[in-house]
Amino acid sequence: MFETLKYLIGAAGASGYGSKSTGEQVTENCGGLHSITAIITGATSGIGAETARVLAKRGARLVLPARSLKAAEDAKARIISENPDAEIIVMGLDLSSLNSVRNFVSEFESFNLPLNLLINNAGKFAHEHAISEDGIEMTFATNYLGHFLLTKLLSKKMIETAKTTGIQGRIVNVSSSIYNWFSGDTIRYLGQISRNKSREFDPTRAYALSKLANVLHTKELAQRLKQMETNVTVNCVHPGVVRTRLTREREGMVTDMAFFLTSKLLKTVPQAAATTCYVATHPGLVNVTGKYFSDCNEASTSKLGSNSTEAARLWTASEIMVFRGSKAVFDPLTSTFDYDISMK
């Protein structure tokens, strides 16, 4: 009850910010981002677009990858109309396609640009069951696996940039508190819903699984970056509940009524972007890694979300799924993978 009251009134936490803080407010003391190059996925609308606008206002060079180049160009135009000096690069990327991710990284590397900041923000809620071209359930493929590969392939560039510039690199994974809704065996369920005509598919549970994967990815990646003694951190954020395109895709009487009844709990888009902007830029978070943030303050995760064994297990499974030249075939009865060597 007390936490709900704090949320409703926007009471500031230990960071000095709270649920009512905006992206602009939390970046006022970031010292300017003119030396920062940032990649932000899902920046054509909603929270991602506001995050991009705020970072551009603070001086960061932005790379905006998107499936729709027109949508990305429109987002770029909106930012430049407010900040004419903003440097923004638009690139094509379909996160549900591992081949598209590899092509994006290859093209980005050809620019010989530094990379200080990676914000894995893009999200999808698939109401109908679909399988990606790589044989993975579409929500999981877009929200998690594409970002896993993107981060993996860009890590070297981030480590090199941090070493050369002395500026700590930061990776921000945008999750959701809905991850708490998932229970059960992560790999087994993914195997079940990654089959055609899956009877086990439930849109909300699949979305929760993908958001749990973001949390577990953060935990495991933080440990690996520490072991490598890199100057790169990774943290995870819950932006809060906001009516963006992700939710508008399911408009109707029931949805409209639910949003009306919970309207006092909804954030504005500038408020929803605050936690991402805070974790991406605030000087007080130097060397902070592997943490989960909500309302611009560190928060605890669930037992499953903080399970190191589960995080390592997901990492292993993810590496198999993105393995070049082979297709991971799930066996949901044993929660293991076989290789389809005919794909090599």
Which residues are catalytically annotated?
207
What are the helix and strand counts (H, E) for the chain? 14, 10
Distance in angstroms (rounded) separating the CA atoms of residues 8 and 154: 38
Is 30 within 8 Å of 279 (Cβ atoms)?
no
Is 236 within 8 Å of 151 (Cβ atoms)?
no
Is 76 within 8 Å of 90 (Cβ atoms)?
yes
Q: Given the DSSP bridges, would you call strands 292-294 and 297-299 parallel, antiparallel or unpaired?
A: antiparallel
| Three-class SS state of 280 | helix
As given in the structure block, the two tokens for residue 199 are 């009877």
What's the distance, CA 47 to chain centroid?
11
Beta strands in 186-323 (DSSP E): 232-238, 292-294, 297-299
DSSP-assigned states of every residue in 221-259: HHHHHHHTT-SEEEEEEE------HHHHTT-SHHHHHHH
As given in the structure block, the two tokens for residue 290 are 């592997």
Torsion of CA 144, 147, 151, 152, to 10 degrees: 70
The 8-class DSSP code of residue 203 comes to H
What's the distance, CA 12 to chain centroid?
24
